A and B are shown apart, each in its own frame.
Chain A
Amino acid sequence: MNERILMCGNEALAEAAIIAGLDAYFGYPITPQNEVPEYMSKRMPEEGRVFLQSESELASINMVFGAAATGKRVMTSSSSPGISLMQEGISYLAGAELPAVIVNVMRGGPGLGNIAPSQGDYFQATRGGGHGDYRTIVLAPSSVQELVDCMPLAFDLADQYRTPVLVLADGILGQMMEPVVFNKKPRRKLPPKDWALTGADNRKQNIVRSLWLKEGVVEQHNYDLQAVYKEIEKNEILCEQYEVDDAEIVVVAYGIAARIVRGAVNKARQEGIKVGWIRPITLWPFPTEQINKAADNFKIFLTVELSCGQMVEDVKLAVAGKAPVVFYGRAGGGVPTVEQVLEKIRQLTLRPENII
């Protein structure tokens, strides 16, 4: 299985999910992630597993809820407007502590927006998204290979912490092709799913729900969830850094924006500009400590996103006033070019006091 295969992000993530032991996929078509359900519709039956095209995103996420309750590995995928429709179900999954993987191949919004790539769903993804006091783990790969690598991790994290996990991609990552290698990786050691609804033969009845009317029960449930979130924040932060130590400018970007930033930083380094980058791979939990540490020696932080500025708020919280944080982004399907980001970096070296 070490052969390199040229695949688009959508198909690659679908195959990676199947290798990771996906039992059931439920989904409804939407551009730019249509290759996911298309691929699943062919491959899942071949593997003797469940593919179901539902009548709507609401149905998909509730099918995910039902199947997850039986202890199976389940997922759905959609793009921004479809993910909005799923928020009620994601909140229920969080409330009922059910593991599931939800892939969002983001497109331009708000509303139906367009089908171009975007990172406008950062707030929705990292703040829970639905109602209630919850978080979901958010993985933000920036290459097709990393999409492949993060799918088994997403399922493992979901099972380990009994929480929905979001994989946040965008139209470019979903559509672009790159060579990928499917390595079967060892799974984490996971707790038994003794909470699952598998038929209460010779054991106590299990109940999966998110409604508790008795006084104080939901309050305690919230504290229990928060304890899990603390564990996740302690153990699961992922981020990548490049030439931050000697940098005077640090660019923070995730997903496809990080690829564009890499191109710009490489060119800036060639021009002798001391610039590095930090790329959060988990958006929640956010690499607050890593960014805060980088701010110890005064540096200018530049956050680049395919939005009008969402992650930049987390970067500011992480920097905590130690250094200036500047934003550059394009929204609604607009994609910054390497040259535009490079120009922004150049400006910061010239007259930072006027720009900040």
Chain B
Amino acid sequence: MDGKRNDKGLPIGTFERLKVAQNSFCEELIIAGFGGQGIILAGRLLAQTAMNAGKEVTFMPSYGAEVRGGTANSMIVISDEPIASPLVSRPDSLIAMNKASLNKFAPCIKTGGLLIMNSSLIDSKPNVDQSIDILAVPADDIAVELGSQKSANMVVLGAYLQRRGLFRADDAAKSLPDILAKRYHKTLNINAEALQHGAEFAKRSV
């Protein structure tokens, strides 16, 4: 936000700059899965990474009754311009961590969009149109190999970052300490490694 304020002290014209430049960069993303898969954490990490890179960003987590096994999703908008709606109904990209969220959100992906799906838990072929770039990542399997199944969220995020090319997996790894509580800092390395492995998987899958 710039410093322009009206005489009442509130910011004005924040969105006057929002003359939509057609070419200005904007990415709308949904990460979805079940509670306990680290959906919210992955979303927060991406948002933090985007902010650290100087971008405008909004992060909207589903909230409230989510518990392990329930549904969870993160909506993230990243842009060079101030962001209008933080809610994503037609994502450029979808990261689907389980079948239910694939079924729910895949039909909404924009033409020419990107779908990252966790093939460890999704055995079916997604019913999406030809234009969509699909990357199947066996995220849980890769995470188990690394010794921490809980890092499957980082694996898919790493794959997404590599495929989309907005930020590097390394940028996300550097942002980890900003979002993880101190008591979880012992997991920094394993999470960074998972990000890296996800990125490498995506690189190999070109």
Chain A interface (Cβ < 8 Å from any Cβ of B): 4, 6, 31-32, 115-116, 143, 145-146, 149-150, 152-153, 171-172, 175-179, 181, 183, 185, 188, 236, 238, 240, 242, 256, 259-260, 262-263, 266-267, 269-270, 281, 335, 337-339
Contacts and interface: CB of A to CB of B under 8 A. Distances in A.
Contacts of B48: 6
B24 to A, nearest CB: 11
B84 A259 contact: yes
B47 A149 contact: no
A338 B89 contact: yes
Chain B contact patch, size range? 35 or more
A31 B47 contact: no
Contact of A260 (B13, B64, B85, B90): B85
Interface stretch (B51-59, B94-102, B130-138, B145-153): B51-59
Contacts of A263: 84-85
B14 to A, nearest CB: 7
Nearest to B55: A179
A238 B47 CA distance: 31
Contacts of A146: 10-11, 14
28 contacts: A4-B51, A6-B48, A6-B59, A6-B178, A115-B64, A145-B11, A175-B61, A176-B59, A177-B44, A177-B59, A177-B60, A178-B58, A178-B86, A179-B56, A181-B1, A238-B8, A240-B13, A240-B14, A242-B15, A242-B16, A266-B18, A266-B84, A267-B20, A269-B20, A270-B20, A281-B10, A337-B89, A338-B89
Contacts of A32: 63-64
B48 to A, nearest CB: 5
A31 B6 contact: no
A187 to B, nearest CB: 9
Nearest to A32: B63
Interface in B171-187: 178-179
Nearest to A156: B9
Interface string B70-113: 00000000000001111101100000000000000000000000
Interchain residue pairs A-B with the least CB separation, the first 7? A263-B84, A262-B84, A263-B85, A177-B59, A337-B89, A115-B64, A176-B60
B9 A153 contact: yes
Given A146-B10, A177-B47, A240-B12, 5 more contacts: A6-B44, A32-B64, A146-B11, A240-B13, A242-B15
Interface string B20-50: 1010000000000000000000001001100
B206 interface: no
A207 B57 CA distance: 50
A175 B1 contact: no
A153 B51 CA distance: 27
Residue among A4, A116, A153, A339 with most chain B CB within 10 A: A4
Interface of B: 1, 3, 6, 8-16, 18, 20, 22, 44, 47-48, 51, 56-61, 63-65, 83-87, 89-90, 178-179
A238 B89 contact: no
A148 to B, nearest CB: 10
A149 B18 contact: no
A153 B48 CA distance: 28
Contacts of B18: 242, 262, 266
Contacts of A172: 60, 86-87
A281 B10 CA distance: 9
B20 A115 contact: no
Nearest to A152: B9
Given A238-B6, A270-B22, A115 B58 contact: no
Nearest to B8: A238
B85 A178 contact: no
A76 to B, nearest CB: 21
B8 A153 contact: yes
Residue among B51, B59, B63, B178 with most chain A CB within 10 A: B63
A172 B86 CA distance: 9
Contacts of A188: 9
Given A238-B6, A242-B15, A270-B22, A335 B87 contact: yes
A259 B9 contact: no
Nearest to A179: B51
B17 to A, nearest CB: 11
B82 to A, nearest CB: 8
B69 to A, nearest CB: 18
A260 B86 CA distance: 8
Contacts of B90: 339
A121 to B, nearest CB: 18
A262 B15 CA distance: 9
Nearest to A2: B3
B15 A178 contact: no
Nearest to B175: A6
Given A175-B63, A260-B85, A143 B51 contact: no
Contacts of B178: 6
Contacts of B14: 143, 145-146, 240
A126 to B, nearest CB: 18
